[in-house]
Structures are given as structure tokens and as C-alpha cells.
Amino acid sequence: MLDDDEEASVFVNRDLVEPDTIIDEERIVGRDDQLKSVVSFLKPTLQGNRPPNMLLYGPAGTGKSLIIGAVTQQIIELCQSKGERFGVININCHPINTLDQAVYELVQTVAKDVNAEIGVPETGVSTKRKYRRLYKLINEHYDSVIFILDEIDLLVGRRANNEPAYSKLLYQLSRASNTNEIEGRVSVAALTNDPKFMEDIDGRAESSFNPRDVYFPDYDATQLREILENRRDAFRQDSLTSDVIPLVAAFAAQSHGDARKAIDLFRGAGDLADEWGDGKVTERHVRESQEEIDKDRSLKLVEGLTTQKKISLYATAAVACYSNRSRSSVPSPVGFNVYRWITDELDADQMTRETYVKYVKELATYGLISSSRKSRGRGGGMYMEFTFTGDPEAMMKRIVDDTRLEPIANQEELLQTVVNSQLREFHNQ
Ligand SMILES: Nc1ncnc2c1ncn2[C@@H]1O[C@H](COP(=O)(O)OP(=O)(O)OP(=O)(O)O)[C@@H](O)[C@H]1O
């Protein structure tokens, strides 16, 4: 059991290397331009004017939430000192499926912030009523507000061939002050990893949202090193050997310069040193921890997926794996047709193409797949192209292990034929 002469932990302030800890401004590295832009866009709030809407875009873990969070926090404080009420209404759209749920989530967030009743049921009433409740709460409690919509591109909605839910939400929120539904000043900040996000927005939403862009590029190893150096005091003095920070930064730089990954690995290495009772973090703990992260990530992720997401992933991996073409990237229309074939074979529910793309794109946010938008040339429309970062065959095996996909896995040759005929059809169109 607990032992008195156990080695002391390598941490003195482990919170500092937790991903969701809000850090002080002096610990922020390499985001001067973005900070400057966001500050200048939001400054009008302090002078009683309406700030512009914003689109913060860039890969995962590049500081979008951090920067908007740090600036809005300062504005809250400055407004408070002047007796003004500035509301920051922040939601993450990733787990939300429909417009109605998104509006309810906004109501819930405001109600919690101002300590009021939610005042509207989650189901059984129209979205319009939820909007009305949202506006009422805002009008009663704030003089100005900013909506922060994180991972906005994942709020697709249910129906296919229709305006996506994020487009409708952006339209409503960004015009709410023009229509006087919200009496105070309103601005909307949308955060996304998708650089081409605006291309799918409906024309009227585009013109009412009309954002100022702030781009967040990847960090390089030097910046990641500095980010970690600035959190070195999470650890006991002298408990890090000199090679730890450069190695963590180098690993994270390899995986797309994501600061969240760097911080997770830093913490993981410390945890391992504690677990082994070594009293010091060394290169060995970093390497071992990185290996565990790599192994766990895809396994855990696949285990946690719903059946529909597993089928979507399986179909996409099948295209990458069985394609006779030299490039094993997967055009989304082909992945979707294979998904449809599989769901027919299994007699399972079938999602729309938009939902299929949303599911697969979600996996891209975990780094299992990378996705990019492609054009089919004049008048041909857009589609997504998916590429696996790891081995698609291993991924398929892992999915079959715990789903009802076995009947499909037993028809390997047939699946191979379906994949290649779908690919041929797509490329000949
Ligand atoms: N420039 C930086 N300086 C210090 N810490 C940083 C910096 N950028 C990011 N971080 C840290 O990395 C983690 C991820 O950052 P953040 O959540 O802001 O990324 P994001 O771009 O919003 O990512 P996502 O698109 O995945 O939501 C947080 O713990 C944050 O504190």
C-alpha cells in the first residue's frame, strides 16, 4: 500500500501540463500576430462598438482556443471594471449533431454562466423557441456578447443535400443584432481546422457572417520547445534531464506541430517516471510514453466509436487497402458507396453522405487520417479525399475484432471487387 519512503513525484504542479489548464499570457509562445489581430478585432467592444465576426483557422493544437480564450477573458475583466456585462458564450460543436441541439447547448451555456433557469425543454419544442429563450437570456444579462463556436465544421446536421447546420447557425447568430433580436453588440468567432470551411457556407450566411480571418500555422520544433520550456515549472527542479524537452518537441513536431500533443507527451513521460519510481524524467520515459501513445491512440479510438462510425471507417480503410491504384487515397464518394454496399450487406441503418463524411473527418481530428478537399474540375463539384496515416489493413482488422463486420471480412474478394469497380466508375466520370 502507500509507502512513506516512496520516491517523491517528479511533478510539483502537474496542472500546468494538463491540456485544458488556462495559462497566463506570458506562457504563450509564437502567437504574437494572432494575439494582435484578435485584440484589435475585439477592441471595439471596450469602446461600445460592435466588433467584427472572426474565423480562426489552422490545424489542431495550434492555439486557437487558447488565444480567443485569453483575449476574451481580459475583455470580461476590463468590462467588469467599468460595470459592463460582456458575455462569452463558448461551445464545442464536435459532439453536437443538429442545429436544434446547438441552440439548446447555447441556452444551457448562458443559463449556467448567469445562474438562471434554462427555461426551455431540451426536446419537444421548436428550435425557434430555443432561439427566443437564448436571446431573452442574453438581453437580460449581458450588454454585449461573443459566441465562440469551436470545431464549427463538425456541426453538419441531419439532412443531406441541404444547407449544413453550421451555415444556418452562423446566419442566425450573426444577424441577431441587425434584427434587434439581441439588443446589445454581438460577434461570432468560428474556430475550425478546415482551411476551406467558408466554401460550403450558404451565400446569405456568408454575407451576414463575413468574418475577419486569423490563421494559426503549425508550430515548429523550436516553438514547441519554447512552449514546453515555459511549463518546465510543472516539474520539480532538476527532475528533467536535458534531453527531455528537445525530444518531446521533436516527436510533436513530427505529428503536425500540435502543441496539445507536445504537452500530453511531456506529462506522459513524467507520469511514467513516477510510475517506475525513477525520480527523474529521462529520454527513456519520453520514448516509451510516445510508443504507448501511438499504440493506444488508434486502439482506444476504434473501441470507443459507435457502430456507424466503425462501418464508415471500415469502408474507407477498405478502399485504401484494396485499391489497385498506386495512390491509396480515398475519394469520399467512393468511400461512401462502399459504405452503402456494406450497410446493405449487413442490413444496417444507412447514414447520408454528409454524415459519412463528417464521421470520417472526425477521425482526421485524431490524426488517424488526413483529409483534404478536392475539386473535380469545372462544374464537377467538390469532394473530400482521405489518406490514412497508419496502415489501413491493421485498422480494418481492429474494427472487425469487435463489431458485427465479420460477415463482410469473410467476403474479402467481393469487397475488393466492389472497391475497384467503384474507383473505376469515379475516375471515369
Ligand atoms: N502558443 C502556445 N503557447 C503555449 N501553449 C500553447 C500554445 N498553443 C497551444 N498551446 C497549448 O496547447 C493546447 C492546445 O491548444 P488549443 O486548444 O488552443 O488548440 P486549438 O488550435 O484550439 O486546437 P483544436 O483545433 O484541436 O481545438 C492547450 O493546452 C494550449 O494551452
Mark which of 247, 276, 297 sits at the end of a domain. 297
Residue 184 has pLDDT above 80, yes or no: yes
The answer to whether the annotation marks 307 as part of a ligand binding site is no
Domain count, the chain: 3
Question: How many whole angstroms from 406 Cα to the centroid of ligand 1?
Answer: 40
Per-residue pLDDT at 5 exceeds 50: no
Please report the atom of ligand 1 found closest to the CA of residue 262: 12
Separation of 299 CA from ligand 1 center, angstroms?
Answer: 24
Residue 31 alpha carbon, nearest atom of ligand 1: 1
Can you give the CATH number for the domain in which 46 is found? Answer: 3.40.50.300
Query: In this structure, is residue 4 part of a structural domain?
Result: no
**Residue 65 among known ligand-binding residues:** yes
**50 within domain boundaries:** yes
User: Does 332 show up as a binding residue in the annotation?
Assistant: no
Q: Whose CA is nearest to atom 1 of ligand 1?
A: 29
Of the candidates 274, 297, 320, which is a domain's last residue?
Answer: 297
Q: Are residues 392 and 260 in the same domain?
A: no
Whether 66 is in the pocket of ligand 1, judged by its Cβ within 6 Å, is yes
Q: Mean pLDDT over residues 160-166, rounded? A: 75
Residue 67 located in a structural domain: yes
Q: Report the percentage of the chain scoring pLDDT > 70.
A: 94
pLDDT higher than 70, residue 3: no
Q: Which atom of ligand 1 is nearest to the CA of 28?
A: 3
Query: Is 24 a member of any domain?
Result: no
Q: Which of 215, 242, 276 delimits the end of a domain?
A: 215
93 and 53 within one domain: yes
Q: Is residue 144 domain-shared with residue 227, that is, in the same domain?
A: no
Q: Which residue lies with its CA nearest to atom 24 of ligand 1? A: 60
For residues 183 and 316, state if they share a domain. no
Q: How far is the CA of 266 from the centre of ligand 1 (A)?
A: 14
Query: Do residues 187 and 269 share a domain?
Result: no
Going by alpha carbons, the residue nearest to atom 17 of ligand 1 is: 65
User: Is the residue at 16 inside a domain?
Assistant: no
107 with 138, same domain? yes
Same domain for 337 and 409, yes or no, is yes
Q: Are residues 86 and 172 in the same domain?
A: yes
126 labelled as ligand-binding? Answer: no
CA of 109 to the centre of ligand 1 (A): 22
Give the CATH number, domain containing residue 405: 1.10.10.10
Residue 1 pLDDT more than 50?
no
64 is in an annotated binding site: yes
Structural domain contains residue 257: yes
Q: pTM of the prediction?
A: 0.74
Domain shared by 169 and 104, yes or no: yes
Q: Does 243 lie in the same domain as 155?
A: no
Question: 309-327, pLDDT tens digit by residue?
Answer: 999 999 999 999 998 876 6
Q: What is the mean pLDDT of the chain?
A: 89
Pair (422, 350) in one structural domain: yes
**C-beta of 27 in contact with ligand 1 (< 6 A):** yes
Taking the centre of ligand 1 as the mean of its atom positions, its distance from the CA of residue 64, in whole angstroms, is 6
> 233: domain range?
221-297
pLDDT tens sequence across 360-410: 988 776 767 888 888 877 667 789 999 987 778 878 888 887 667 888 888
In this prediction, residues 337-349 reach a mean pLDDT of 93
249: domain CATH number is 1.10.8.60
User: Does residue 419 lie in a domain region?
Assistant: yes
pLDDT digits (tens, 9 = 90+) for 235-268: 999 999 999 999 999 999 887 788 999 999 999 9
Question: Is there a single domain that holds both residue 116 and residue 65?
Answer: yes
Residue 3 lies in a domain: no
**Is 63 annotated among the ligand-binding residues?**
yes
Locate 260 and state its grid cell: 496539445
Compute, in angstroms, the gap from residue 142 CA to the centroid of ligand 1: 28
> Per residue in 86-138, pLDDT tens?
999 999 998 888 999 999 999 999 999 999 999 999 999 999 999 999 999 99
